Amino acid sequence: MDEEETAASGQSQLFTILLVNSGRLAFPDYTLQRTTKVFLDREDLIRYEVSMRSLQEVNTAMQTGQWEEALELYTAAKSAWQELKKNHDFSHQEEGVEILQRLRQYEEAVEELESLLSQSVYCPDSRGRWWDRLALNLQQHLKKPEQAIDAIRDGMTDTLVRTGHKLSLHQRAARMKESASFKKYRLQLGDLPTIQVQDVKHVTIRGQLFPHEGGMGKSRFLLHTNGEGEDSHDATVICSVEELCLAHYRQQGFDQGIHGEGSTFSTLFALLMWDVIFMEGIPDVFRNPYQTCPLDLYTDCFYENRKEAIDSRVQLLSEASVETLHTMMEDVWTSQEGKVCSLVNWELFSSLQHAQSLVSCLGGAFLGGVTARMSKDYRHCRAGLPDLVVWNTSVNICKLVEVKGPTDRLSQKQQIWLDELQKLGADVEVCHVEACGARGARLE
């Protein structure tokens, strides 16, 4: 963040305060409880500001491709924190790995990664990425397959590594096992831990691709719409790949559908867990009156700090009738609608009744399972959820759909979520969209 961005951030904060004071903006109700000092003293604050400025300079150099300058800044930052053993800032060291790799200094990058992985106190959420990058450097750049296999094994047995990164390591090992170059190491590769993820149903539809200059960016399609009513006319519109799929599922009998990705589930999560998310009695999670979520939301502490309340709510949801779910949502919607919460997109559903109709199709057992998973690891579970949710209000059935355009592939997080959702009883599928000729006839 440069000086202009810093100034803009300050202006934005002042604007927020003005909107709140004028009644045009409202935040959730919660109780402030500050018990821990963020900075021990003035010198501590100054060290933090210097560290952030240094990190910003490194990021700026990296974004502009000034890798030699970035290396100098990183080296200076590393020297500074080595002298402050009680104030480690591992963000500089991680940026250093990227800089060294860009400069093809892979031996040095491996040393930095091993240094980062030798401790487990700082940046635990980054360990999966570090293990994966270490394995790649050892395998691909340094041609040290045995050490790469050891890195994969250590990463997959690391209790701080999340399932998505473990799946990535597992897939790397699988590719090595299938390669003729690693034939002599197949026994070692076969002894590695495995991650089992069940595939889901795949369907393919076709649509006419809209040509655009350069061929870059997201694919756009031409969608033929049938006019309804006496004064309506047929038309052809330009649409996204997700909109093309929504039209396809409308033809399949799903009269309702939204393209919300993770916001669909985070919104339902917040509506069903509002009082738990903003509950009192947890120190330091609410420190100012302009927060859109508790400060521990993206940490493991979110669940640990509310374990009893979360477990109780998950149990209630799992056993709840449709009427109970509707009442829970109505209570929150009517009392909190419009308040700024990072979890909620109030414009995603056209009305409370629209949201309730989806909940009727999903059911309490499914919602309880999703809520439990998001409560325990929201940081890593917020990504990878299906693009579309489509449902039929007359028979209360729904389908969760991950959309893949002509060049898209499933990420590890998407594979894991699709597997989890299928295990919870949801009808899940991946809809692949292929480009075809002029008429764009859809094929299942």
162 has a pLDDT exceeding 50: yes
Query: What is the three-class DSSP state of 207?
Result: strand
pLDDT classification of 441: cutoffs 50, 70, 90 = very low
80 has a pLDDT exceeding 90: no
Instruction: Please state, in angstroms and as integers, the Cα–Cα distance from residue 84 to each residue in 37, 46, 81, following that order.
Output: 20, 14, 5
Pairwise pLDDT comparison (382 vs 229), residue with the higher score: 382
4 has a pLDDT exceeding 70: no
- What phi, psi does 48 have (nearest 5°)? -65, -45
HSE, CB side, 13 Å, CA atoms: give it for residue 238: 6
Contacts of 154 (CB under 8 A, 6+ apart): 117, 131
The percentage of the chain sitting over the pLDDT mark of 70, rounded to a whole number, equals 90
Give residue 404's pLDDT: 93
Give residue 194's pLDDT: 85
Pair 221, 245: CB distance under 8 Å: no
Give residue 85's pLDDT: 53
Name the least confident of 59-68, 302-311, 353-362.
Answer: 59-68
Give residue 230's pLDDT: 54
pLDDT classification of 256: cutoffs 50, 70, 90 = very high
The span from the CA of 46 to the CA of 344, in Å, is 36
pLDDT tens-digit map of 19-69: 888 888 999 999 999 999 989 899 989 988 988 898 899 999 999 999 999
C-beta neighbour count of 106 within 10 angstroms: 16
Pairing mode of beta strands 397-404, 428-436: parallel
Distance from the first to the final alpha carbon of the chain: 48
The span from the CA of 358 to the CA of 368, in Å, is 15
The span from the CA of 302 to the CA of 376, in Å, is 7
The span from the CA of 426 to the CA of 49, in Å, is 48
pLDDT classification of 81: cutoffs 50, 70, 90 = low
Pairwise pLDDT comparison (300 vs 81), residue with the higher score: 300
Q: Which conformational region is residue 201 in: left (phi greater than 0), alpha (psi within -120 to 50 degrees), or beta?
A: beta
pLDDT classification of 228: cutoffs 50, 70, 90 = low
Q: Which pair of structure tokens corresponds to residue 394?
A: 């007359």
Name the least confident of 96-105, 208-217, 237-246.
Answer: 208-217
The span from the CA of 286 to the CA of 30, in Å, is 7
CATH number of 31-190, picked from 1.10.20.60, 3.90.1150.10, 1.25.40.10, 1.10.3720.10: 1.25.40.10
Pairwise pLDDT comparison (292 vs 122), residue with the higher score: 292
pLDDT classification of 329: cutoffs 50, 70, 90 = very high
Pair 381, 348: CB distance under 8 Å: no
The whole-chain average pLDDT of the chain stands at 88
342 has a pLDDT exceeding 70: yes
pLDDT tens-digit map of 413-424: 999 999 999 999
Pairwise pLDDT comparison (244 vs 6), residue with the higher score: 244
412 has a pLDDT exceeding 50: yes
pLDDT classification of 1: cutoffs 50, 70, 90 = very low
82 has a pLDDT exceeding 80: no
Averaged pLDDT, 371-386:
94
Written as one letter, the residue type at 193 is P
Averaged pLDDT, 307-319:
98
91 has a pLDDT exceeding 60: no
Rounded to 10 degrees, the C-alpha dihedral 140/143/149/155 comes to: -50
Contacts of 51 (CB under 8 A, 6+ apart): 77, 81, 89, 92
Pair 387, 315: CB distance under 8 Å: no
Give residue 96's pLDDT: 79
The span from the CA of 236 to the CA of 207, in Å, is 12
Name the least confident of 29-33, 78-82, 110-114, 372-376.
Answer: 78-82
Question: Could you tell me the residue ranges of all domains in the chain?
Answer: 31-190, 201-436
Averaged pLDDT, 123-145:
93
Pairwise pLDDT comparison (291 vs 407), residue with the higher score: 291
Q: Which pair of structure tokens corresponds to residue 160?
A: 């701080």
The span from the CA of 256 to the CA of 250, in Å, is 7
Pair 316, 309: CB distance under 8 Å: no
The span from the CA of 160 to the CA of 295, in Å, is 20
Q: Which pair of structure tokens corresponds to residue 156?
A: 């997959």
213 secondary structure, DSSP code: G
Pair 239, 223: CB distance under 8 Å: yes
The span from the CA of 259 to the CA of 253, in Å, is 17
Helices H / strands E in the chain, number of each: 18, 7
Q: Which pair of structure tokens corresponds to residue 209?
A: 């691709």
The span from the CA of 63 to the CA of 142, in Å, is 26
444 has a pLDDT exceeding 80: no
